[in-house]
Structure 1
Amino acid sequence: MPSLRILLIALLACLGPAAQAEPLRIVSEPWAPYIFEENGQPRGQDYEASVIVFKRLGIDVQWSLLPWKRCLVELESGQADAVLDIFHTRERETRMVFPAEPLSEVEFVLFHARQRPYPFERLSDLRGLKVGVSPGYWYADKAFRTSPLFFREPAPTHEANLGKLVRDRVDLVVNDRRAGRYLVRQMGLEAEVGQHPKVLSRDHLYLAFRRQPDLENLARRFSDELRRFKREPAYAELQARYAEPSDDNSGNR
């Protein structure tokens, strides 16, 4: 009869791969203040909230910041386990599992060159204009996504979109209000770029997991822990750290 020592060694050998499982791989595109890179390290409100939640769950995570389309390809091909800061759509539910609790709310607005404000109240005001968009992004307002009244021109990065705006290569740029204003400040374009106050659409950002049984369970655990974290003073402190400056950048300034 084999000794207890031999049985333990055999058991550990069987459990080895599970006990030494690779870290969860999460991808996202830099989109400050939600997630971005500073001095070679990821930062941001949604990134840091997720790090805290995973630490409490005892899950090791590896982060990669990539172009958005590549993020989606890696998730769907199984190279990544989850994608940070994605919109929940019915079409995506066939391939992704969304926690019940979102990370953030976003508001899409139009940014304009201050010398060319293009008054905007309704989609018909955009007739014949060229609007800079980000490829692969989901804009919640269906009329904006499909309207034949204006042209939607993609750019490889959010920075490229604003660069085209100030060089008069597009008439307007659509972006999240907070992300757009953060980037305008970062690029030193406050004197050249303003925003329209009208909100095109509102949506929520999620951490979506690849659809497979173990990750579906993890999505539920992540949601529960995130909801608990949001009730704590530490979450309010995190939000305050990434809050917008009190300056007013509304209207056609």
Structure 2
Amino acid sequence: MPLFHRQLIAALLFACLSLAAQGQPLRIVSEAWPPYIHTENGVLRGLDYETTQIVLQRLDVEVEWQLLPWRRCLMALEQGQADGILGIFHTPEREASMLFPGEPLSQIDFVLFYAKANPHPFQHLTDLRGLKVGVSAGYWYNNRDFRESTLFTRESAPSHAANFGKLVRKRVDLVINDRRSGHFILAQTGLEEQIQHHPQVISRNPLYLGLRRNAGHDELAQRFASELRRFKQEPAYAALKARYNSPDRPRRAAQPPSKTANH
């Protein structure tokens, strides 16, 4: 087949994919991870969720949301059952199957939380020797030394809140979580007086809206990044960020998420 014909077919296929994507809601999956995305009284809330909703509404894009365990989120995107995944790290390995807009939604700092009644000093990985660290299944803690270390054991839990529950019951020695998310969950569950975090940052990572590659979302990724940058300069974004940076005690009345969010 002549090169011109192959290029024409490729262009038509891309156009069809783009039209198909525009003709139906964008399907986005994520795992509940307060305060980035979670439910309160059956309603989706969260810093990254609300930011994404506002940006996509401005782009006139309809969205269908679904909360799943993280591993199922990744599988749904891989199998074409989802168009996007909220709250994911941009890694070279993922570029083969995902598009990443040029602007991240937010930035997270993974730190180690400890029970005040059972503190474990931590400055270096060697301080974790022989300990049990609570983790979230399927999470990519973007620190290779931490991720592959054999000095300590890792134990996952069905939810972030469950990890902290295990911490106060001494079933794990430490828990790794994002600093903002960890304190938000502790405020929800009433454990903020019993748990604190070490200041050392294990890894610092931006979170993105990842879109399925080769599905006609290239232009959307560019438009999303541009509009997201614009929104971040507005007072509305500053107010949204402040609201989720300072969880208040009444949030404890909301049901903690029953599932764990990447990453």
- Choose from 10, 20, 37 the match for 2:39: 37
| 2:78 pairs with 1:59 | no
Displacement of 1:20 in angstroms is 8.1
Q: In 1, Cα distance between the equivalents of 2:245 and 2:134?
A: 26
Most deviating of 151-160 and 94-103: 151-160
| 2:135 pairs with 1:170 | no
Displacement of 1:154 in angstroms is 1.6
Which TM-score applies when normalising by structure 1?
A: 0.87
Partner of 2:198: 196
Partner of 1:104: 106
Letter in 2 for 1:76: E
**Structure 2 matches for 1:62-81, cutoff 5 A?**
62-81=64-83
Displacement of 1:244 in angstroms is 2.4
Displacement of 1:201 in angstroms is 1.2
- Choose from 109, 118, 124 the match for 1:122: 124
Partner of 2:49: 47
Partner SS for 2:182: helix
Letter in 2 for 1:92: R
- Structure 2: which 5+ runs fail to align? 1-18, 249-263
- Choose from 209, 220, 232 the match for 2:222: 220
Once superposed, what is the RMSD of the aligned Cα atoms? 1.7
Letter in 1 for 2:117: Q
Partner of 1:85: 87
Displacement of 1:209 in angstroms is 0.3
Asked whether the equivalents of residues 21 and 215 of structure 2 are also in contact (C-alpha less than 8 Å), the reply is: no
How many residues align? The count is 230
Identity of aligned residues (%): 61
Q: In 2, Cα distance between the equivalents of 1:233 and 1:195?
A: 30
Q: In 2, Cα distance between the equivalents of 1:154 and 1:87?
A: 20
Letter in 2 for 1:187: T
Most deviating of 217-226 and 190-199: 190-199
Letter in 2 for 1:155: A
- Structure 1: which 5+ runs fail to align? 1-16, 247-253
Which TM-score applies when normalising by structure 2?
A: 0.84
Letter in 2 for 1:88: H
Partner SS for 2:117: coil
Q: In 2, Cα distance between the equivalents of 1:221 and 1:175?
A: 31
Displacement of 1:74 in angstroms is 0.7
Look at both structures and tell me which one has the larger radius of gyration over its CA atoms: 1
Displacement of 1:144 in angstroms is 0.5
Q: Which has the higher contact order (CA 8 A, sep 6+)?
A: 2
Partner of 1:161: 163
Letter in 1 for 2:110: F
| Cα deviation 1:132-168 (Å, max 9, x = unaligned) | 1111111111110011111111222112211211111
Q: In 2, Cα distance between the equivalents of 1:65 and 1:213?
A: 21
Partner of 1:249: none
Asked whether the equivalents of residues 101 and 208 of structure 2 are also in contact (C-alpha less than 8 Å), the reply is: yes
Displacement of 1:61 in angstroms is 0.4
Displacement of 1:97 in angstroms is 0.7
Partner of 1:184: 186
